[in-house]
Structure 1
Amino acid sequence: MNQKSSAAWWALCLPMLAVFIWSLNIAVTRYVADYISPVSISFYRWLVAFIVLTPFMLHKTWQQRHLIKTYFVEFAVLSAFGMVLYQGLAYVASHETTATNMGIINAFIPIFTIFVSLAILKVRPNLYAVVGSILSLVGLLYVMSKGDWSSLLQLGAHFGDLLMIFAVFFYAFYGVFLKKWQLKVPLLLSLYIQIGFALIYHLPFIAWLGLDPINAENAASVIYAGLFPSLIAPFLWMLAVQNIGPNRTSIFMNLMPVFTAIIANIWLNEAWTSAHTFGGLLILLGILLAQKKSKI
């Protein structure tokens, strides 16, 4: 009994640690915005991850090259949505909004996934999902407006939040494509090939915008982004799915706004306002409601 309880406690720590790493990366993204361009840190992030994985994956990649050829298009699309559009827009958004808002908007992934699934997988949402989505949208708009609904008319004031919404929307596509295709490929191999595509996608942007050098002010952030949120957190998340299942694991994503707000408050001195509290609770309530499976 005690051994089973200990094992369960250990397994529940895995997704919590993964979410904490991703939340910290949002704060890192906001912090480093003043020291390196979005395209530069995005490229370096995946370059670090690729270099670390290569000694372990290069031989396996050659051995399973038939799988890469079979799913070449799928890998290219997944990389574009999950690693370039989502991450790239998030880095741009970090110049225009707070880490706290980025964390709150990131929690919208389950809601957007419901409606992307409707468009691509033809999975119709039940009434719980519709009502929960509306409730979360109201909460999101309340956070963006800082409690002043009239300020929503000032588009420029919310440019960063809008970019983050688009980023999260693209990540919802990433999740739905994963479910639609269900590639019969080892997870680390899939991750490695997607990272390779991400590096290729960055080359035109680097040629156009240039590449900032790594220096004392941004090196730690680049290394953190390349190791922890890119490799360690996904590995912990996969272990959690294997041990406690995908549904119980996914619930932990709702901790991201909380973790991000705490980290941003301590590290970046970002204020947590009543608008964040009220709007965040509405978003969380809507997300939880949208997860209900039974139909009304």
Structure 2
Amino acid sequence: MVQLSKYQKWAFVLPLIAVLIWSLNIAVTRYVADYISPVSISFYRWFVAFLILTPFMLPKVWKQRAVIGKDLGKLAVLSAFGMVLYQGLSYTAAHYTTATNMGIVNAFVPVFTIFISYLILKDVPNRFAIFGSLLSFAGLIYVMSQGHISSLFEQGGHWGDAVMVVAVGFYAFYGVFLKKWQLKLPLLTSLYVQIGFALLYHVPFLLWFGLDGINADNAASVLYAGVFPSLIAPLLWMVAVQAIGPNRTSIFMNLMPVFTAIIASLWLSEHWTIYHTIGGMMILVGIIMAQKKTMKVPSQLVETAS
């Protein structure tokens, strides 16, 4: 058995902190939904991150422009899926559902990734992946229907949860494209260029919907979203991957629904119910089973998690 060094043991704290930051951001997203529009918070998030990174990254990006130019189209696609569609739809979903439900649905990324990998990478899932995915999907439906499956069809389902499912689907595409293309760019360089594209993508939406101003009600949330989940968490995650490996690191993502539920309960007064417990356990067990002897979710480049 390979023994871990003292540094590697401490490195297990890093993904824990990263997942905690992303979980808190889900609660922040739900909280700020009443004070700023989805397109505005999405734009401000990446604008703040871009401003912070520019003094450090712009000279490096300029020097690497020839190398970056070869992958510019791919970076544009990654930005569209991971930073605009996933994040924008997540902020939209926050207007119609709870942070607790958003955290649970967000845990569905590995299952979506398995089937999108089959379509794009031709990675054929085994029986564990198929059964685990079906179990997770059943758990997701159970949560969305609040424990009453018939109501899902009678009332057309929960709009916010459905939007979040679509958002998670886009993020799964993002992860699969990362695996497919295997870009040879440093993490921060890739992140910086993708943020630049994200800001450009926001322009037509801002022209159509307008840009809400920053005020006392939303300033702290905007600053948090632009710094902690956008910059600090990905860096902690990257260091953890290097120290303890991608497989061990990726396991910590399963804690996101738990952390989100605790934060939402303490801060937003949301209630954890029996259908959350049953559906959440079904999703978690299904995810663990689905990843048995199947492709690993690309965890070394979790750049835009919620």
Normalised by the shorter chain, which TM-score bucket? over 0.9
Instruction: Look up the match of 2:226.
Output: 226
**Structure 1 residue 146: Cα displacement:** 1.1
Tell me how far apart the structure 1 counterparts of residues 87 and 107 of structure 2 sit (CA, whole Å): 15
Tell me how far apart the structure 1 counterparts of residues 156 and 122 of structure 2 sit (CA, whole Å): 35
Closer/same/farther in 2, CA of residues 118 and 4 from structure 1, 3 Å limit? closer
Q: Between the two proteins, what is the percent identity of the paired residues?
A: 71
Say if 2:157 is the partner of 1:164: no
Tell me how far apart the structure 2 counterparts of residues 154 and 105 of structure 1 sit (CA, whole Å): 21
Structure 2: segments with no counterpart, 5+ residues: 295-306
3-state DSSP of counterpart to 1:200: helix
Tell me how far apart the structure 2 counterparts of residues 60 and 5 of structure 1 sit (CA, whole Å): 33
Map 1:23-172; keep pairs closer than 5 Å: 23-172=23-172
Structure 1: segments with no counterpart, 5+ residues: none
What RMSD, in angstroms, separates the aligned Cα atoms of the two structures?
A: 1.3
In 1, are the aligned partners of 2:96 and 2:159 still within 8 Å (CA)? Answer: yes
Which amino acid letter does the alignment assign opposite residue 35 of structure 1?
Y
Which 4+ residue blocks in structure 1 deviate beyond 6 angstroms?
A: none
**Structure 1 residue 154: Cα displacement:** 3.7
Instruction: Look up the match of 2:302.
Output: none
Aligned residues: 293
**Structure 1 residue 222: Cα displacement:** 0.1
Instruction: Look up the match of 1:180.
Output: 180
| Superposed CA offset, 1:100-137 (max 9, x none) | 00000000000000000000000000100000000001
Closer/same/farther in 2, CA of residues 156 and 76 from structure 1, 3 Å limit? same
**Structure 1 residue 157: Cα displacement:** 4.7
**Structure 1 residue 291: Cα displacement:** 1.1
Tell me how far apart the structure 2 counterparts of residues 103 and 154 of structure 1 sit (CA, whole Å): 25
In 1, are the aligned partners of 2:46 and 2:198 still within 8 Å (CA)? Answer: yes
Tell me how far apart the structure 2 counterparts of residues 5 and 118 of structure 1 sit (CA, whole Å): 37
**Structure 1 residue 72: Cα displacement:** 0.8
Instruction: Look up the match of 1:259.
Output: 259
Which amino acid letter does the alignment assign opposite residue 89 of structure 1?
L
Map 1:242-253; keep pairs closer than 5 Å: 242-253=242-253
**Structure 1 residue 155: Cα displacement:** 4.7
Which amino acid letter does the alignment assign opposite residue 268 of structure 2?
L
Tell me how far apart the structure 2 counterparts of residues 4 and 133 of structure 1 sit (CA, whole Å): 33
| Superposed CA offset, 1:56-110 (max 9, x none) | 0010011000122100100100000000000000000000000000000000000
